[in-house]
Chains A and B, each alone.
Chain A
Amino acid sequence: MLTIKSVTKRYGDLVALNDVSLEIAPGEFFGLLGPNGAGKSTLMSLVSGLRAADSGDIFVSGQNLRDASGPLRHELGLVPQSIALYTDLSAQQNLELFGQLYGLRGKELRRRVDEALDAAQLTERRRDAVKTFSGGMQRRLNISASLLHRPKLLLCDEPTVGVDPQSRNAIFDHLQRLNREGITIIYSTHYMEEAERLCSRIGIIDHGRILALGSLDTLLAQLPFEDEITFPAKTETEALAGELGALGEITTIDGTHRFRPPAGFPLSRFFALAEARSLSPRLFTSRRPTLEALFLHLTGRTLRD
């Protein structure tokens, strides 16, 4: 569906994308995970044709974006990060406007608008001004407006920024339904939970480079540890933390120590060390590593840095 070959994009001295290559198959729900400024939006803007790459090529359905014009744009749908709607106009007027930009007219346009309103669960509010909608309703309409022309590839650029959990879940359901219907989705986010929940394959990006690529399991398998034990950074746990440094990887973030023992490290040994310092077992939590841990492992920084 989408092939990105050695794409580089600079803004002055800043290298936003550095020799990025990527292949996305039809029907995939691909996650692009990285902190703010990693290059996600730049990659989205290049794929959607808003900007041109300094070097490299992008192919959509086998066609080079550089040589393509109108028809190829029909295959792409972009959900911008912000609410890209005319808030003084009604939901219906917005959808009609954006549909017309893709050449939809007459009955076909009306039918697609009805479908989009239905998908966004806004049929009852179709004639209300968008500015009267809740944030979640606006977000749903924001997505529906990108689907009017039935794109094969949907680019979602952090579509849940600033959205409450309930609305976020509704958006996830909506996107997963679309994906099941066959639309290929590229979903950029800096929330690892979203990538883990939605995406069949994830690319971790930082400083304009793809650091890791694969399914969640494949990515986590890259970690040199199988478990992550967290405990609060307190005076009484400092000695233990110091000792664990010699046994595995330990980091302290936001008042929490995270200990990642090497593969094969017996947890009984860890608890023996804790017991020797009369530390309650309730201080400790053991869990499977997350993408956050992988990102930390790869970059030495958290996704929020």
Chain B
Amino acid sequence: MHPIFVLYRKSCLLFLKNKVAVVITFLVPIILIYLFGHVFGLYRTESGPSGIRIAVVNQSSEPAATELIDALRKEKAFRLVTEAENADGTKRPLTEADARAAMHDNKYRYTILLPPDLVRENAIGVHLKFLSDPRNEIESQMVNGLLQKTIFTNVPQLLGKSLQLQAKRLIGQENLTAFNRTVADAVANHFGGDREKIYQSISGGDFGIGALTSHKKGQSTEGSAGLRRLDTTAGSNPGNAAPAAVPASPTEESTTEKKAGGFLSRIVSFETEQVSGKQVSNPMAARTVGGYAVMFLLFALSGSATSLFEEKRSGIFQRILSAPVRPSHILWGRFFFGMTLGIVQLSALFLAGKLFYHLDLWPHLLPLAVMTFAAAAACTAFGMFVAAVSTSPDAANGLSTLLVLTMSAIGGAWFPISMMPEAIQRFSKLTLVYWAVEGYTSIIWAGQSLLEVLPTVGILLGIAVIVMLVATWCFQRNKMFE
């Protein structure tokens, strides 16, 4: 046999014997491809985000407002919240104050207010108010686009109604009635139909705009194609996902839709208010630093914990445990080292963020320190867990690669979890990455105080305790210290 073939065969055998290498080579990419596939909608007939909670506060008495809410409810990306719960458990219609409070607590990040003057009397068009917390830029842009699409394509009657009101104000009811009658007669003469029904329809505001905008119903949930951004208004941070009156992807629009959309975008007035993150000097950095910092920390601590195997292999544990030292001393020593490493690493990463991206750190120093403590504890416990359930350093490295990348993906470190199917989103909250990202974003982006982030801190510490207990049990079971 030729030496080249012998050596080739040897490489194949060694690779196949190394289960970790096989896992990292095949399983990790396959899992990530699966997750990214979901994110980019490769498996779904209807791609795009899902399960985004949107609050709707209806202050309008217009019947069309109800129709608008129904239309929003049909949008698969959204989970509408229209009610708040009283202290006794009964429900009441959501108020603006309820919505603002809930947005502050990050229960949802978007609210649509249908104001009493939804259909304006002093100008042509429709007036809506949009409250947003664009802590995730990608998600915010998607939500903006989807909202506009839903409104433009489903409730044209609002615009007709507005036109009727304006006409009434300008030319008076008598002339308007005559005008409507004339138009109804002309339509009936040229196209047939019941003259009175056509008149009633025109008087009710239906000019057939819906025919211009709703012809693509059923196809129009395709990502952000054909969507409009919302108008820029005062209070938005220039660096944020500021809605703008430009088409998101004009090249993908049909000519008809362009005309209708352009027309509609001029007469639908969105009053947009960014409820948090306005003060952030570098929104992009504020949004992303937490997720990436935690991901790198997980890698570092997992690597560090696997050194336990080296200590066991070299007999150092034997030497240490023959001294007046208990296994728990070794574990706690390792845990405190991990905590220190974690706190120092996270601090260094945030300081780098401050240095390179002018991240606002100083106003949030106390909550950041506490959150860093909790995140470091949870990440250290994770590293210990990986070492405890693995049988070798190679296995630990493979497992940590798999878990860290998966947790980062589904925990929201890379992209909004709303881009994934709701089934996967349920698992997000089981990951420490999710809570660390939530905590850091709440502090750096939303400017929450220590008191406000304490629940998240508590969850991270709870994860640390539970994972550490499991790790300790696994260490005992695997006889790591024998």
Asked if residues B324 and A102 are in contact (CB atoms below 8 Å), the reply is yes
Query: For B355, what are the chain A residues with a Cβ–Cβ distance below 8 Å?
Result: none
- Would A73 and B319 count as touching, CB distance under 8 A? no
Is A103 part of the contact surface with B, judged by Cβ < 8 Å? yes
Q: Name which residue of chain A comes closest to B321, CB basis.
A: A50
Are the C-beta atoms of A145 and B322 separated by less than 8 Å? no
Judge whether A78 is part of the interface by a CB distance below 8 angstroms.
Answer: yes
Check if A48 sits within 8 Å of B324, measured CB to CB: no
A32–B392 CA distance with the chains assembled, in angstroms: 31
In the assembled complex, the Cα of A48 lies from the Cα of B324 at a distance in Å of: 11
- With A50-B482, A51-B482 as known contacts, state yes or no: A78 contacts B316, CB within 8 Å: no
Query: Are B314's CB and A73's CB within 8 A?
Result: no
Given A51-B482, A84-B314, A85-B314, answer yes or no on A78-B324 (Cβ-Cβ < 8 Å): no
Residue of B314, B320, B321, B323 most packed against chain A (CB within 10 A)? B323
Q: In the complex where A70-B324, A83-B314 touch, is A78 in contact with B319 (Cβ < 8 A)?
A: yes
- Residues in A neighbouring B482, C-beta threshold 8 A: 45, 50-51
Q: Is the CB of B318 within 8 A of A50?
A: yes
User: A101 at interface (Cβ–Cβ under 8 A)?
Assistant: yes
Across the interface, do A85 and B316 meet the contact criterion of CB distance under 8 Å? yes
Q: Tell me whether B116 is interfacial, beta carbon within 8 Å.
A: no
Residue B366 interfacial (CB < 8 Å):
no
Residues on the B chain within 8 Å of A35, using CB = none
Residues of A close to B314: CB separation below 8 A: 82-85
Determine if A265 is an interface residue (Cβ-Cβ < 8 Å): no
Decide if A49 is an interface residue (CB 8 Å cutoff). yes
Do B318 and A80 have beta carbons less than 8 Å apart? yes
A98 within 8 A of B: yes
- A74 close to chain B: CB less than 8 A: yes
Q: How many A-B contacts are there with CB distance less than 8 Å?
A: 54
**Contact yes or no, B324 A69, CB < 8 A:** yes
Contact B324 A80 (CB under 8 A): no
A235 CA / B38 CA spacing, docked (Å): 77
Within 8 A of A (CB), among B314-340: 314-316, 318-325
* A74-B318 in contact (CB<8A): no
Q: How large is the interface on A (under 10, 10 to 19, 20 to 34, 35 or more residues)?
A: 20 to 34
CB distance from B325 to the nearest CB of A (A): 6
Contact of A45 among B318, B320, B324 (CB under 8 A): B318
For A50, the chain B residues whose CB sits under 8 A away are 318, 321-322, 482
Contact flag A73-B318 (CB < 8 Å), given A50-B482, A51-B482? no
Q: Decide if A78 touches B318 in the complex (CB within 8 Å).
A: yes
Which B residue's beta carbon lies closest to that of A149?
A: B323
Q: What are the residues of chain B within 8 A of A156 when measuring CB–CB?
A: none
Q: Contacts A50-B482, A51-B482 given: A101-B323 contact, CB under 8 Å?
A: yes
Task: Indicate if A4 sits at the interface (CB-CB under 8 A).
Answer: no
Residues of B within 8 A of A98 (CB): 319-320, 323
Query: Could you tell me if B319 and A145 are in contact, using CB atoms closer than 8 angstroms?
Result: yes
Chain B residues lying within 8 Å of A51, measured Cβ to Cβ, are 482
Please measure, in the bound complex, the distance between the C-alpha atom of A155 and the C-alpha atom of B324, giving whole angstroms.
Answer: 16
User: Using a CB-CB cutoff of 8 Å, which residues 19-51 of chain B contact chain A?
Assistant: none
- Of B315, B322, B325, the residue contacting A81 (CB under 8 A) is B315
Which chain B residues numbered 294 to 348 have a C-beta less than 8 Å away from chain A? 313-316, 318-325
Residue ID in chain B nearest A79 by CB atoms: B319
Point out the residues of chain A lying under 8 angstroms from B322, CB to CB.
48-50, 73, 76-78, 155
CA distance A29 to B321 in the complex (A): 24
Does A86 lie at the interface of the complex (its beta carbon under 8 Å from any beta carbon of B)? Answer: yes
Roughly how many angstroms separate A81 CA and B325 CA in the complex, as a whole number? 20
Given the complex of chains A and B, what is the CA–CA distance between A76 and B313 in angstroms?
22
Nearest residue in B to A74 (C-beta to C-beta)? B324
Contacts from A to B (Cβ < 8 Å): 45, 48-51, 69-71, 73-74, 76-78, 80-86, 98, 101-103, 145-146, 149, 155
Where the two chains meet, the residues of B that have a C-beta atom closer than 8 Å to any C-beta of A are 313-316, 318-325, 482
The 9 closest A-B pairs by CB, nearest first: A80-B315, A84-B315, A70-B324, A78-B322, A82-B315, A84-B319, A101-B323, A48-B322, A73-B324
A-B contact pairs, 6 of them (CB 8 A): A49-B322, A50-B318, A50-B482, A71-B324, A83-B314, A84-B314
New A-B pairs, 19, CB < 8 Å, besides A50-B321, A101-B323 = A48-B318, A50-B482, A71-B324, A74-B324, A76-B322, A78-B318, A80-B319, A82-B313, A83-B314, A83-B315, A84-B314, A84-B316, A84-B318, A85-B314, A85-B316, A86-B316, A101-B320, A103-B324, A145-B319
